[in-house]
Amino acid sequence: MNGEIDRSWRDPELLVKALPSVILQTAFFLAPLLMTVALTFQRTKNFQLTWTWSLDTWTDIFTKPHYWTILGHTLFMAITCVILCLVIAFPVAYALATRLRAFQDHVKVLITFAFLTDATLKTFGWVLFLDKNGAANYLLQQVGFPPATIDILFTDWATMLGMVYNLLSFAIFTIYLSIDAIDRSLILAAYDAGASKFRTFWEVTLPLARPGIWAASVLIFLLAVGVFLEPKVLGGGKSPMSAELIRQTFETRVNWPLGAALTLVLMTVAVFVVLLFNRVYSLKRHMGPV
Amino acid sequence: MAGEPILEIRDIRKNFGAYQALKGVSLSVQQGEFIALVGPSGCGKTTLLKQIAGFEEPDSGSLSIAGQPMLGVPAAARPTSMVFQKLALFPHMTVADNIGFPLKLRKVDPAIIAKRVEAMIELMQLKREYLTRYPRQLSGGEQQRVALARSMISEPKLLLLDEPLSALDVKLKKVLQAELKRLHRSVGVTFVHVTHDLEEAIMLADRICVMRSGEILQVGGPNDIYYRPADSFVAGFIGDTNLLAVTVKGNAVSAPGLTAADPTVPAQYVAPGLGDGPALLMVRPELITPLESGQVADFTIDVTITEIFCKGGTVQFRSNTEGGAPLIFELPGASKQPADIGDKLRLGFPKRDIYLFRERVAA
Amino acid sequence: MAYPTPTPWMNAKTEAQLAGVLLYGSVAAVLIFFYVPIFTLIAFSFQEGRYPTLPFEGVSLKWYGALFENSGARDALWNSTIIAVVATVFATVIGSAAAIVAVRYKFRFRLPFTGLSAAPLAFPQLLLGIVLLLWFSVLGRAFDFNTGLVTAIIGHVVYITPFALVIVAVQVFNFDATLEDAARDCGATTFEVYRYVTLPLLWPGIFSAGIFAFLLSWGNFYLTYSLAGSTRTLPTFVFSGIATGSSPLYPAIATVVFIPGILLVILADRMRRKAA
Ligand SMILES: Nc1ncnc2c1ncn2[C@@H]1O[C@H](COP(=O)(O)OP(=O)(O)O)[C@@H](O)[C@H]1O
Ligand SMILES: [Mg+2]
């Protein structure tokens, strides 16, 4: 739609604008990532890295089920988190885009602020709220419930609550953008064709919002796979997820090759899951609803 | 119209990848002229204007303005000014800032800019209180005037207008067409006006340049284009017209169903260089009249009426000849209607103002 | 023959009411959900007693006073500010330039360029932190430096630049490129086109990106935790505090941390509304 301008890499205007980003992400994202791959083939001795090539780390990983149990748990939590986020975010995003004319801006500001506030602090806030002697139970007791009605702190439930809490905004914004982009006249055309509101939603709005839903799913899944704060602070570290395992490997066990390998396994599996879902999703689209 | 042309374009070519947007365009425009570039959407009108204004450089050819070669000269340094198809008013500047922007860039004293802006506002017949408004607070026609004012304030040698009226409703369009004509007369700047509406071009321009898929097909005065089109493409471009397939032999024409006491066509009604063989005979719908029995005309033809449209002032009849070719004719709306759908009718038209030319030249 | 009008499966009025309850209800519920921990923290910061428990022993500002006497907290505040300001400047500038390139220009390797520039967006922060920590450790051993303020800033810039890129890209996408042609036609040089047209029109996007960048950096935990060495920012200071046992000092810190966020988000909203 916009006039796109042909540029060559010799053009100084392109270089000035593109190179900083290229250098930044090459030097501090791509290169470290490649080095991480190289690290997995090294050995450690007495908590010191020795640059000797070996497959020890990988043999270790593929022979110990312990790592895979944790990975499985992580994937389960991440997928659950994605589903919960989508289910909660969709009506909110839909209301933001189609209702709430007057309050839309205010609601957006409120959500943005909550999103941008430091996750550590908010997670800590949940601890104070959910604690056996915390705010929630205190309030419930005031209205006549028995003490400690809510007792989920330091369980997977609290972890999940924290994950959904910290990632929900991504879903709301991404889905909101895709619903907002839908041409209103398409929806009017559906009403005009005799479709009820629900029918229109189901057959027009939802399919057209699919790119946003998909983008939100991928983003949240990739971020959820790497959470560490929630299982540690809200889950009490009782059922560790992969990120916590990786952190421990680096910090407590000082085993860099293993930590690097676990990082790669986590990222590879996560990307693989995304691709798998993408495949199922596009197949379904070609064959129509199953 | 003597002297140096203000704009001289020679054999300009422009490709976008494999697509040839301009296939060797040459055009020369005189000082003070109002020239219209006409052609269907996508034929390269905007592209040609962009080469003149300097937003793009042609792949080959030459271009000079007031005798100065312009290739390689950046847009900012060319004595041209463009009114964009979508106006391109700066949304973050007030009307006054928009109009004064070219002078601000030329480091003109702000007090002088303010005076010149007011003069432009007056010339454009805009209200003074608009000066502090933003473009989006103005109606389409007013925005149009602001865009014109911004383009003219720096006193360019060449004003390039890219379909400036295409987005307006018919009534406003007519008003602004008259306005453009008045501006052109009063300011004396050379106008290059792009439009896809040949009627607008005929109304406004001294000369019209018809384009098709990156080429110039015909350049001429409004009458040339209207009555002596270069081919069927140009002829078909202006409203409804009749193009009868005929065969030319010597100076005489023949076609199935067409009868004439003297089938020869005077040379002034024949396209230059048209030889014997198939040709098209153009006759404008308003020149055709139904014949009562006993009436005669230079050419006569029998038809069956297929459709009748009321066009306000006139009534348009669509019919088929015996050979199956469509024929349109128009009568004043107030007169008694001579026929109904399905009726057979004999039509006649004079030799005067018919035109014989080649079938459309393949692009 | 006329087809019958489709029969809705529910009375239209009931349907509308149900949809209304669901939609408005979900917005209200989510807003409450978002603000539960935030208000809990703010409430606890005003309580008098030594332990953050209910009911309050009294209401006071004493923990705010304690906060400003605590040198660790003061240092953390200072470090947070430095890191956020520097990271914001770099991330916004680099991200905005890259957004213009990615949306407006056509060139070889455009897709790899965009992919590389945006990739950290979908990379879990903790893992990004660890990967960078490894990198800096290896580099640090070779060139003899330790992780600290500078490495934390680099990490923040790597992570935040893609956010800035995406935000500015939306603005660039809606930007009408013919306005630049128009400016050039009015006689503007390349620099003047930027100064008078491109930048003012992209400004709302760049400004939002800047605010977003600042707050992402200001509240960042994961990257700072991995990359700042012994340097503490407010989030990592709070984290270490939670680990050693809760003290009412931390809700007070949290409330202090919220303040620039509230101010900046409100400011951004004002700016946007003025521009619209
Ligand atoms: N920058 C460009 N890149 C590729 N094709 C272009 C570009 N600009 C114009 N074209 C193509 O050139 C042709 C002529 O365009 P244009 O001059 O805008 O036509 P119009 O006569 O409607 O103004 C069109 O087919 C258009 O798609
Ligand atoms: Mg055009």
Sole residue written with tokens 């988000």: C265
Measured between CA atoms, how close is B105 to chain C, in angstroms? 6
**Tens of pLDDT, residues C104-131:** 888 888 889 999 999 888 788 888 998 9
Judge if A243 and A185 occupy the same domain: yes
**Pairwise pLDDT comparison (B232 vs B136), residue with the higher score:** B136
Percent of chain C with pLDDT over 90: 34
CATH classification of the domain holding A258: 1.10.3720.10
Judge if A26 and A131 occupy the same domain: no
The answer for residues whose C-beta is within 8 angstroms of residue A84's C-beta and 6 or more apart is A160, A164
* Ligand 2: centre distance to CA B14 (Å): 15
Comparing CB atoms, the residue among A17, A91, A226 nearest residue C127 is A226
Judge if B247 and B207 occupy the same domain: no
Q: What band does C79 get if pLDDT is binned at 50, 70 and 90? A: very high
Per the domain annotation, does B93 fall within a domain? Answer: yes
Q: Do C185 and B86 touch (CB under 8 A)?
A: no
Instruction: Give, in order, the Cα–Cα distances in Å from A205 to each of A6, A174, A215, A232, B362.
Output: 36, 15, 16, 39, 47
Give me the count of residues in chain B: 363
Q: Do C188 and B55 touch (CB under 8 A)?
A: no
Q: Which residues on neighbouring strands pair with residue C63, listed in sequence order?
A: none
Give me the count of residues in chain C: 276
Per the domain annotation, does B330 fall within a domain? Answer: yes
Would an 8 Å CB–CB cutoff place C43 in contact with chain A? yes
Q: Strands across the sheet with B158-162, in order?
A: B80-83, B158-162, B190-195, B34-38, B207-212, B215-220
Task: Work out the end-to-end distance of chain C between its first and last CA atoms, rounded to an integer number of angstroms.
Answer: 51
Decide if B340 contacts B346 (C-beta within 8 A): no
Q: Which residues of C touch B55 (CB under 8 A)?
A: 181, 184-185
Measured between CA atoms, how close is C267 to chain B, in angstroms? 19
Per the domain annotation, does A164 fall within a domain? Answer: yes
Judge if B75 and B150 occupy the same domain: yes
Per the domain annotation, does B362 fall within a domain? Answer: no
- Phi, psi dihedral angles at A201 (to 5 degrees): -60, -45
Classify the C-alpha dihedral B115-B116-B117-B118 as positive or negative. positive
Give the domain extent around B45: 5-227
Per the domain annotation, does A155 fall within a domain? Answer: yes
Judge if A31 and A71 occupy the same domain: no
Q: What band does C276 get if pLDDT is binned at 50, 70 and 90? A: low
Judge if A118 and A22 occupy the same domain: no
Residue B18 CB neighbours (<10 A): 5
Report the pLDDT value the prediction gives residue C7, as an integer from 0 to 100: 63
DSSP sequence for B305-319: EEEEEE-SSEEEEEE
Decide if B242 contacts B230 (C-beta within 8 A): no
Measured between CA atoms, how close is C128 to chain B, in angstroms? 40
Q: Do B82 and C181 touch (CB under 8 A)?
A: yes
Spatial separation of the C-alpha atoms in residues B228 and B239, rounded to whole Å: 15
Per the domain annotation, does B111 fall within a domain? Answer: yes
Give the domain extent around A23: 1-39
What tokens were used for B242?
A: 């009749």
Judge if A27 and A161 occupy the same domain: no
Q: What band does A77 get if pLDDT is binned at 50, 70 and 90? A: very high
Q: How many helices (H) and strands (E) does chain A have?
A: 15, 3
> How many structural domains does chain A have?
2
Q: What is the pTM of this model?
A: 0.76
DSSP C194: I
Q: Which residues on neighbouring strands pair with residue B158, listed in sequence order?
A: B80, B190
Which one of B22, B25, B45, B47 would you pick to mutate in the ligand 1 pocket, going by the greatest count of ligand atoms within 8 A of its CB? B47
**Tens of pLDDT, residues A208-264:** 888 888 888 988 998 899 888 889 888 888 888 888 888 888 888 888 889 889 988
Residue C162 CB neighbours (<10 A): 25
Q: Where are the beta strands (DSSP E) in B134-174?
A: 158-162
Q: Which residues on neighbouring strands pair with residue C146, listed in sequence order?
A: none
| Position B360 pLDDT exceeds 50 | yes
CA A3 to ligand 1: nearest atom = 1
Judge if B217 and B236 occupy the same domain: no
Helix C199-218 to helix C149-173 angle (10° resolution) is: 140
Would an 8 Å CB–CB cutoff place C178 in contact with chain B? yes
**Tens of pLDDT, residues A123-149:** 888 988 888 888 888 888 888 888 777
Task: Please name the residues between 63 and 92 in chain C that touch chain A, using a CB distance below 8 Å.
Answer: none
Q: What band does A159 get if pLDDT is binned at 50, 70 and 90? A: very high
Percent of chain B with pLDDT over 90: 45
What tokens were used for C153?
A: 């800033």
| Position B302 pLDDT exceeds 60 | yes
> Touching B: which chains, 3+ CB pairs < 8 A?
C
DSSP sequence for B167-216: TS-HHHHHHHHHHHHHHHHHH--EEEEEES-HHHHHHH-SEEEEEETTEE
Q: Do C43 and A96 touch (CB under 8 A)?
A: no
Which residues fall inside 5 Å of ion ligand 2, going by CB?
B 46
What are the structural domains, with CATH classification, of chain C?
Answer: 71-275 (1.10.3720.10)
Report the pLDDT value the prediction gives residue C8, as an integer from 0 to 100: 59
| Position B334 pLDDT exceeds 80 | no
Spatial separation of the C-alpha atoms in residues B86 and B37, rounded to whole Å: 17
Q: Strands across the sheet with B242-249, in order?
A: B252-254, B242-249, B277-283, B355-357
Measured between CA atoms, how close is A144 to chain C, in angstroms? 16
Spatial separation of the C-alpha atoms in residues C137 and A39, rounded to whole Å: 12
Q: Which ligand is nearest to the CA of A4?
A: 1
3-state secondary structure of B290: strand
Sole residue written with tokens 């010339």: B123
Per the domain annotation, does A45 fall within a domain? Answer: no
Per the domain annotation, does A245 fall within a domain? Answer: yes
**Average of pLDDT values for B64-73?**
91
Judge if A177 and A96 occupy the same domain: yes
B51 lines ligand 1 (CB under 6 A): no
Residue B286 CB neighbours (<10 A): 16
Spatial separation of the C-alpha atoms in residues A117 and A102, rounded to whole Å: 25
What tokens were used for A283?
A: 């197949």
Report the pLDDT value the prediction gives residue A255, as an integer from 0 to 100: 85
Q: Do A198 and C9 touch (CB under 8 A)?
A: yes
Most trustworthy range by pLDDT among B51-60, C6-15, C234-243, C250-259: B51-60
Classify the C-alpha dihedral A275-A280-A284-A289 as positive or negative. negative
Decide if B319 contacts B345 (C-beta within 8 A): yes
Per the domain annotation, does B34 fall within a domain? Answer: yes
Q: Which of A222-226, B60-64, C63-67, C211-215 has the lowest mean pLDDT?
A: C63-67
Task: Please name the residues between 117 and 176 in chain C that touch chain A, using a CB distance below 8 Å.
Answer: 117, 119-128, 130-135, 138, 154-155, 157-158, 161, 165, 173, 175-176
* Ligand 2: centre distance to CA B48 (Å): 9
**Average of pLDDT values for A88-117?**
84
| Position A290 pLDDT exceeds 60 | no
**Tens of pLDDT, residues A165-186:** 999 998 998 888 888 878 777 7
Most B-contacting residue of C186, C191, C203, C274 (CB-CB within 10 A), to test interface? C186
Judge if B153 and B52 occupy the same domain: yes
DSSP sequence for B39-64: --TTSSHHHHHHHHHTSS--SEEEEE
| Position B136 pLDDT exceeds 60 | yes
Judge if B155 and B259 occupy the same domain: no
**Tens of pLDDT, residues B100-133:** 999 999 999 999 999 999 999 998 889 999 999 9
The answer for residues whose C-beta is within 8 angstroms of residue B320's C-beta and 6 or more apart is B303, B304, B306, B326, B327
Percent of chain B with pLDDT over 70: 97
Judge if B139 and B101 occupy the same domain: yes
Judge if B238 and B223 occupy the same domain: no
> How many structural domains does chain B have?
2
Reported as half-sphere exposure (CB side, CA atoms, 13 A), residue C12 has a value of 8
Report the pLDDT value the prediction gives residue C245, as an integer from 0 to 100: 62
Per the domain annotation, does A167 fall within a domain? Answer: yes
Judge if B262 and B223 occupy the same domain: no
Classify the C-alpha dihedral A124-A126-A127-A129 as positive or negative. positive
Sole residue written with tokens 């199935």: B256
**Average of pLDDT values for B34-43?**
92
**Average of pLDDT values for A76-94?**
94
DSSP sequence for B225-272: HHHS-SSHHHHHHSSS-EEEEEEEETTEEE-TTEEESS-B--GGGB-T
**Average of pLDDT values for B300-308?**
90
Instruction: Give, in order, the Cα–Cα distances in Å from C27 to each of A85, A179, C31.
Output: 14, 16, 6
Judge if B222 and B246 occupy the same domain: no
What tokens were used for A203?
A: 């057959």
Per the domain annotation, does A46 fall within a domain? Answer: no
Judge if A190 and A249 occupy the same domain: yes
Peptide bond into C55 cis (omega under 30): yes
Judge if A19 and A158 occupy the same domain: no
Report the pLDDT value the prediction gives residue B351, as an integer from 0 to 100: 86
Q: Which of A167-181, B59-73, C248-262 has the lowest mean pLDDT?
A: C248-262
Judge if B54 and B149 occupy the same domain: yes
Report the pLDDT value the prediction gives residue B267, as an integer from 0 to 100: 84
Per the domain annotation, does A44 fall within a domain? Answer: no
Supply the residue whose CA is at minimum distance from atom 25 of ligand 1.
Answer: B42
Domain boundary residue, one of B183, B204, B227: B227
| Position B363 pLDDT exceeds 50 | no
**Pairwise pLDDT comparison (A202 vs B160), residue with the higher score:** B160
Report the pLDDT value the prediction gives residue A119, as an integer from 0 to 100: 80
Task: Work out the end-to-end distance of chain B between its first and last CA atoms, rounded to an integer number of angstroms.
Answer: 32
Report the pLDDT value the prediction gives residue A1, as an integer from 0 to 100: 35
B18 lines ligand 1 (CB under 6 A): no
Judge if A11 and A64 occupy the same domain: no
Per the domain annotation, does B210 fall within a domain? Answer: yes
Spatial separation of the C-alpha atoms in residues C158 and C132, rounded to whole Å: 10
**Average of pLDDT values for A57-66?**
88
Judge if A83 and A227 occupy the same domain: yes
Q: Which residues on neighbouring strands pair with residue B320, listed in sequence order?
A: B304, B326
Measured between CA atoms, how close is C6 to chain A, in angstroms? 6
**Tens of pLDDT, residues A108-117:** 888 888 887 7
Per the domain annotation, does B363 fall within a domain? Answer: no
Burial of C270 (0-12, 13-18, 19+ CB in 10 A): exposed
Comparing CB atoms, the residue among C6, C23, C219 nearest residue A118 is C219
- Best CA proximity match to A219, nearest among A71, A81, A121: A81
What tokens were used for A76?
A: 């389960």
Report the pLDDT value the prediction gives residue C164, as an integer from 0 to 100: 92
| Position A277 pLDDT exceeds 90 | no
Judge if B208 and B279 occupy the same domain: no
Per the domain annotation, does A49 fall within a domain? Answer: no
Judge if B173 and B256 occupy the same domain: no
Spatial separation of the C-alpha atoms in residues C242 and C237, rounded to whole Å: 9
Q: Which residues on neighbouring strands pair with residue B283, listed in sequence order?
A: B242
Report the pLDDT value the prediction gives residue C6, as an integer from 0 to 100: 63
